[in-house]
Amino acid sequence: MEKLIILPFSIGFIYLLGILGFRVVKWVGGLSRLDKLRLIHSFKTRRFFDSIKEVFMEGLLHRKIFRKNPVLGYMHMSLAFGWFLLIVVGHIEVMVSRQSLIAPIYLPVFFRYFETDHSFMLSGIFSFLMDLLLLFVLSGVALALLKRFKKKLFGMKKTTRLKTGDRIALLSLWMIFPLRLLSEGMSAGLYGNGSFLTSTLGHIFGNLNSETANLSLWTAYSCSLGFFFAALPNSRYMHIPTEILLIFVRNAGVKLKKRNNTYTNIQVFSCSRCGLCLDNCQLSAAGINNTQSVYILKNIRNHNLSDEQLFNCLLCGKCEVDCPVGINTIDLRITQRIESTRQYNSSYKYLEDGPVPKADTVYFAGCMTHLTPGIIASMKKLFHLAGENVWFMDEEKAPCCGRPLMLAGQYEAASKLIANNTRKIIGSGAKKLVVSCPICYKVFKEDYELANVEVVFHAEYILNLLQQEIIALKKGSDRIIYHDPCELGRGMGMYEPPREVLRTTGKVIPIKNEKHMAHCCGGSLGNLKISQVERSLLRNQAVEDYLRYRPDVLATACPMCKKTFSRHPNLKVLDISEAVANALQISSDQESTKEKMKLEIHEFELI
Amino acid sequence: MNDLSFLKPASRQIDFDNFDDRLLLYVLKYEPSFFTCISCGGCTATCSAGNLTNFNVRKIGLWLRRGETEKLSEEIQKCMFCGKCTLVCPRDINIRNVILLIKKRIAMLKNENTTA
Amino acid sequence: MNNKHVAVIGGGIAGMEAASVLARQGLKVTLIEKQANTGGKLNDWDHLFPDFSSPDELVNSLANKTKDSGVNTVCNTEISRIERNGKRFELRANQDVRFFADAVLVASGFNVFDATIKEEYGYGLFGNVITSVDFEKRMKKHGQLHTIQGTAPKRVAIIHCVGSRDAKVGNTYCSKVCCITGIKQAIEISEMLPDCEVFCFYMDLRLYGSKFDSLYLQAQKRHKIQFIRGRLSEAAERADKSIQIKAEDTLQGRPLRMTVDMVILLVGMEPGVSTSQLIQKNQMTVDENGFLKSANMHCARNQSTQEGIFMTGTAICPMAVNETLENARSAATEIIHFFENRRP
């Protein structure tokens, strides 16, 4: 009869195991053949141990959250790692007391209910340890309760909204450990099998202690566990088991595809809806609060993702930086965009395959750069000084690089432009392709197959000119803030070359929100939905932050960022190429004196 | 793939009495900004696709407002989505989104047509 | 009323005209100008539309009028603050200079749009891209137009609506005077250089004033100026310093490319900076375009939203010279009414 108390726990546990087993088989089975092989192979290599380590560090210790905020990290760690230790130590305790390596699964859970005679070896130490661990977990529960009311303490501005499934799971999770404390306290009062925490509680209970009360408490405890297990698969806590799977699959080298497959599901179910991505998202500055990654993931899961949400994202990648689970929010969104635009027609039959001039170097300015002619003029000047035999590929006409189409999900259409450009670039016989736009740079580097043509970003190109002493700059005293373009920084991981270039022209001041935490200018081609007014709100937010450092120049390395920022009054905005061209030390033979004189006349006239 | 015969064939006159608003109403719902176009032609002038072929972004918006669905559906396939048009528009029309919405609507109509 | 004192901020043509009218009515008037001379932006201007008259004559006659009527003109003084003190006002300049007045007339004028903001047009970057203001300055100074290479241009493009009716630069209003200025300058170029082709790129031609349309007709008929309906999207400099421009010929429905020797940008008017300083410190309100807001657009055009503070000229909205002068006289009338009604 007494054994009935394990029923709620057991039913919930078996149900959970069933669902998890079913999902793992379905998800792993749904991966492509190659990915399955990758996964199997990874178990035989060192990657397996890397994954185990990552599960331990992230799944239990929550290292990434710790880095973001220690209190939030402690809360997660005490719950996850504390519970884990309770299970492990509980099992050891049972094994020691039974002198056997095999014990029923439920026994450690209800140990103090069943094991009233507490006189086995080291029992005192075990009781103490278990009480200590329970206290550890309870401190996490207390913090979790506090977080609901005071999120600021945890470094968070916003949290996600909860659904019914989440509520049930959350409530039962909060109940588990306080109930365990009460049950064990009562048992300790009755049988004296507790330690500092539970015994004290047992004493406090005093006359309240009775077999019936004890049974009811343990039943409630069992129920809370059962409820939690039963609610878990349909709540956000599904992320706990899914994340473990994600770590193994990801470390096996599996990547998101152009179409949704079960890896999409693994990523989607790994989201804990912690809401850390909300705080990083700049769109809230424009009052947009329903398109952030956490909501997109939820919508994918619930099959109700709208285009208005899907395409209302800057694709700046800031949410990905702080995701404790490491979900590829950007790739995931692009996959959804591909799915959404699959039926869209495009036709580029008009693209020509005309003769191509021969050159050593090809310069591709990109569509946007034609609206910032200062960058083109500076690049031309630098090519001239470097004596480069350069073909300015899109000076007159050329197709777009394809990246804007890809950002809008139209990969198939983009591939047609890519094919045309590829033929031309390779046809020119050039060894180097110089680009001054990060949007183009990313696609040329990642999606073009250019044989032995090296793709060089203009920051690297200029840096090389400086290192080779082909050009010399006059260093000024300007205070420069460098704005990392999203596509170049978070997108391509290039942070240093532009800064190194700028250091030769002035003083680059370090700021708080830079590199991987840099602002998005708001100009983003990734977002197709926001208006210009909303974009300027995002821009103003970034500019406000920059102006606190009183810069003389805001430098960037992207025509889009430049265009967006230069519309803001009271701000001098330069591309790195312009900053360099302005700081050039030109010897008299390089620029004819006649030319110079005319420039002077002109400047004089312009007043 | 490119069969657009389900869209009404174009006639010589602009017939406002038999106005095909299937695309217009959809775009208007999500991107009403395109209604403020003053036909300055900045978009067409800057257009990367228009630089290479006979493609006129301004007319896409005009045809949309005039219910010229078929012509529009053919022409829109040439767009390369680079976004320059949106960047130069003096009326702040989100042209890139307009194109996306038109493509979406055509795909929707095509599906309706095949299932019907 | 004779002992009432009016301070006029801004010694451009609006301020000068209003000050002289007020002084002739017997009021004590102080005209405060931040620059060394009165006359404002017209000092740089070569010819006025639509009659090609000389702005110098106008400025001189206004200067004489203010002097003869007894206006106290103070130059090199910029007002940064207006404080109300009972029924009187205290005006403060930067250097501890103060003025007291019973009424204030703000005639602070406009700023010229900074064309470098529209980088795609290449102003400040390409030597042969100039603004309509540069054109007037050059004509006044040299009496001739030449490219940066020192040659006479054979083909000039005049671009309308630069910094006006452009949400991208935040100015959605029409500056009113640019269309007719462009036509005037096109005619001047054509008269000066008969072999030079002149093209005007417009979105809408807004020739609202009397005689403006006849100037348009003259430009087409006598000077063969070509008008192309299309907005410039971008300009690029060729190796020979000529400028290639891109627009759509919207009437043809086809993109258009053209190489020209010179581009003139018809820059619009923006609310003056000094105006905005006064606004920040004195709660004077502005309209949606950033110009000073009238108490009533129709019957109290020159009254600001604060009693006793009036305004006139291009501080209210873009205006042509003749309108500005009319507006200045109407401001003077409103101030006189203000004093008459206030008498117990």
Q: Distance, in angstroms, between A602 CA and closest chain C CA?
A: 6
User: Domain C115-268 is of which CATH architecture?
Assistant: 3-Layer(bba) Sandwich (3.50)
pLDDT at residue A600, rounded to an integer: 45
pLDDT class of A91 with cuts at 50, 70, 90: very high
- Indicate whether A365 and A455 sit together in one domain: yes
8 A C-beta contact, residue C106 and residue C278: yes
A101 touches chain C (CB under 8 A): no
Distance CA A221, CA A411 (A): 53
Please determine whether the domains at C5-109+272-342 and C115-268 fall in the same fold group of CATH. Answer: yes
pLDDT class of B7 with cuts at 50, 70, 90: low
Determine whether the interchain pair A374/C117 forms a contact, defined as Cβ–Cβ distance below 8 Å. Answer: no
pLDDT at residue C67, rounded to an integer: 95
pLDDT in tens, A152-164: 777 777 777 777 8
Name the range with the highest mean pLDDT among A349-353, A587-591, C276-280: A349-353
B81 touches chain A (CB under 8 A): yes
Location of structure tokens 């190659």: A34
Q: What is the mean pLDDT of residues A361-369?
A: 96
Residue finishing a domain among A340, A369, A394: A340
Q: Is the alpha carbon torsion for A386, A391, A392, A396 positive or negative?
A: positive
- Indicate whether A422 and A477 sit together in one domain: no
Contacts of C271 in chain A (CB under 8 A): none
- Comparing CA positions, the residue from A565, A512, A574 lying closest to residue A543 is A565
Report DSSP state, residue C48.
Answer: B
Classify residue A412: in a domain, yes or no: yes
DSSP 3-state of A367: coil
8 A C-beta contact, residue B88 and residue A371: yes
Determine whether the interchain pair B88/C233 forms a contact, defined as Cβ–Cβ distance below 8 Å. Answer: yes
Task: Give the residues of chain C that fall short of pLDDT 50.
Answer: none
- Write the CB contacts of A529 (distance below 8 Å, at least 6 apart in sequence): A308, A311, A312, B94, B97
pLDDT class of A598 with cuts at 50, 70, 90: very low
Distance CA B45, CA B50 (A): 7
Determine whether the interchain pair B78/A344 forms a contact, defined as Cβ–Cβ distance below 8 Å. Answer: no
Determine whether the interchain pair C234/B88 forms a contact, defined as Cβ–Cβ distance below 8 Å. Answer: yes
pLDDT in tens, A454-469: 999 999 999 999 999 9
Determine whether the interchain pair A599/C235 forms a contact, defined as Cβ–Cβ distance below 8 Å. Answer: no
pLDDT at residue A124, rounded to an integer: 86
- Comparing CA positions, the residue from C53, C56, C54, C59 lying closest to residue C33 is C59
Tokens read off for A390: 């350069």
Cis before residue A8, ω within 30 degrees of 0?
A: no
Q: What is the mean pLDDT of residues B78-100?
A: 96
> How large is the ipTM?
0.91
Classify residue A525: in a domain, yes or no: yes
DSSP 3-state of A586: coil
Distance CA A2, CA B23 (A): 69
The CATH number for A483's domain is: 3.40.50
Q: What is the mean pLDDT of residues A178-192?
A: 91
As for how many domains chain A has, the answer is 3
pLDDT class of A592 with cuts at 50, 70, 90: very low
Using the predicted structure, report yes or no on whether residue A607 has a pLDDT greater than 50: no
Determine whether the interchain pair A371/C119 forms a contact, defined as Cβ–Cβ distance below 8 Å. Answer: yes
- Indicate whether A460 and A481 sit together in one domain: no
Classify residue A210: in a domain, yes or no: no
8 A C-beta contact, residue C278 and residue C73: no
- Indicate whether A477 and A520 sit together in one domain: yes
* Contacting partners of chain C (3+ CB pairs under 8 A): A, B
Using the predicted structure, report yes or no on whether residue A89 has a pLDDT greater than 50: yes
- Indicate whether A264 and A297 sit together in one domain: yes
pLDDT in tens, A496-518: 999 999 999 999 999 999 999 99
Classify residue A457: in a domain, yes or no: yes
8 A C-beta contact, residue A513 and residue A520: no
Closest CB to C234 among A370, A598, A607 = A370
Mean pLDDT for chain A?
A: 90
Distance CA A488, CA A406 (A): 16
What's the alpha-carbon Rg for chain C, to the nearest Å? 22
Distance CA A311, CA A526 (A): 8
**What range defines the domain where residue A373 resides?**
361-465
Sequence spans of domains, chain C: 5-109+272-342, 115-268
Q: What is the mean pLDDT of residues A598-603?
A: 48
- Comparing CA positions, the residue from C122, C158, C134 lying closest to residue A604 is C134
Tokens read off for C278: 């006064």
Q: What percent of chain B has pLDDT over 90?
A: 65
Distance CA A34, CA A41 (A): 10
Closest CB to B107 among A311, A344, A525 = A344
Classify residue A592: in a domain, yes or no: no
Distance CA A281, CA A294 (A): 11
Q: Of C165, C248, C252, which to mutate for an interface test with B (greatest number of B Cβ within 10 Å)?
A: C248
- Indicate whether A281 and A335 sit together in one domain: yes
Using the predicted structure, report yes or no on whether residue A276 has a pLDDT greater than 90: no
Between chain A and chain B, how many beta carbons pairs sit less than 8 Å apart?
Answer: 95
Using the predicted structure, report yes or no on whether residue A202 has a pLDDT greater than 50: yes
Determine whether the interchain pair C256/B45 forms a contact, defined as Cβ–Cβ distance below 8 Å. Answer: yes
Q: What is the mean pLDDT of residues B53-60?
A: 95
Q: Distance, in angstroms, between A520 CA and closest chain B CA?
A: 17
B59 touches chain C (CB under 8 A): yes
A359 alpha carbon, distance to own chain's centre: 41
Looking at 3.30.1330.60, 3.40.50.300, 3.50.50.60, 3.90.1150.10, the CATH number of the domain C5-109+272-342 comes to 3.50.50.60
pLDDT class of A150 with cuts at 50, 70, 90: confident
Tokens read off for A55: 């599960």
Distance CA A438, CA A521 (A): 14
pLDDT at residue A416, rounded to an integer: 95
pLDDT class of B5 with cuts at 50, 70, 90: low
pLDDT in tens, A32-79: 999 999 999 999 888 899 999 999 998 899 998 888 889 989 999 999
Q: Distance, in angstroms, between B51 CA and closest chain C CA?
A: 8
Contacts of A351 in chain B (CB under 8 A): 52
pLDDT in tens, B32-52: 999 999 999 999 999 999 999
8 A C-beta contact, residue C289 and residue C271: yes
* H-helix or E-strand spanning residue C245: strand C243-249
pLDDT at residue C1, rounded to an integer: 66
Distance CA A302, CA A305 (A): 8
Using the predicted structure, report yes or no on whether residue A137 has a pLDDT greater than 60: yes
Distance CA A248, CA A270 (A): 12
pLDDT at residue A590, rounded to an integer: 46
Location of structure tokens 């020119």: A428
A345 touches chain B (CB under 8 A): yes
- Indicate whether A439 and A483 sit together in one domain: no
Q: What percent of chain A has pLDDT over 90?
A: 72
Using the predicted structure, report yes or no on whether residue B2 has a pLDDT greater than 70: no
pLDDT at residue A154, rounded to an integer: 77
* For chain A, the helix, strand and coil percentages under 3-state DSSP, each to the nearest 5: 60, 5, 35
Classify residue A332: in a domain, yes or no: yes
A1 touches chain C (CB under 8 A): no
Between chain A and chain C, how many beta carbons pairs sit less than 8 Å apart?
Answer: 48
Q: Distance, in angstroms, between B25 CA and closest chain A CA?
A: 16
Residue finishing a domain among A433, A465, A497: A465
Contacts of C229 in chain B (CB under 8 A): 41
Determine whether the interchain pair C248/B45 forms a contact, defined as Cβ–Cβ distance below 8 Å. Answer: yes
pLDDT at residue A364, rounded to an integer: 97
Distance CA C197, CA C200 (A): 10
Q: Of B37, B39, B40, B93, which to mutate for an interface test with C (greatest number of C Cβ within 10 Å)?
A: B40
* Contacting partners of chain B (3+ CB pairs under 8 A): A, C
Classify residue A506: in a domain, yes or no: yes
The DSSP line for A341-380 is TTT-----TT---------SEEEE--TGGGG-HHHHHHHH
b/e for A571-580, b at 16 or more Cβ within 10 A? eebbbbbbbb
- Indicate whether A446 and A477 sit together in one domain: no
Contacts of A348 in chain B (CB under 8 A): 78, 80
Q: Distance, in angstroms, between C133 CA and closest chain B CA?
A: 22
Classify residue A595: in a domain, yes or no: no
Contacts of C138 in chain A (CB under 8 A): 605
Q: Distance, in angstroms, between A227 CA and closest chain C CA?
A: 57
Using the predicted structure, report yes or no on whether residue A573 has a pLDDT greater than 80: yes
